[in-house]
């Protein structure tokens, strides 16, 4: 089921996170890590999770991604 993929994804290379709650864009595995199924997680919580999992050295650099730069799913 697609809903299992809904949640917050972190791009470890760009230090950007995206909230995914629609099947129209599910990130590919390259660069994106599924962080939490909680789609309403705050940026502070997201930074804490990334730190706990050792995904980013400086969690203060984590910001919300820009939807205008996301490739559309075909």
Residue 27: predicted pLDDT: 73
Between 52 and 32, residue with greater pLDDT: 52
Residue 20 CB burial class (10 angstroms; 0-12, 13-18, ≥19): buried
Give the three-state DSSP class for 11.
strand
Q: Which residue has the higher pLDDT, 26 or 3?
A: 26
Q: What is the mean pLDDT of residues 42-46?
A: 97
Q: Check residue 30 and give its pLDDT.
A: 73
């Amino acid at each position: 089921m697609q809903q299992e993929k809904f949640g917050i994804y972190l791009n470890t290379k760009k230090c950007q996170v995206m909230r995914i709650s629609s099947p129209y864009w599910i990130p590919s595995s390259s660069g994106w890590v599924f962080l939490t199924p909680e789609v309403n997680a705050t940026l502070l919580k997201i930074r804490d999770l990334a730190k706990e999992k050792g995904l980013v050295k400086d969690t203060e650099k984590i910001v919300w991604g820009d939807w205008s730069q996301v490739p559309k799913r075909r």
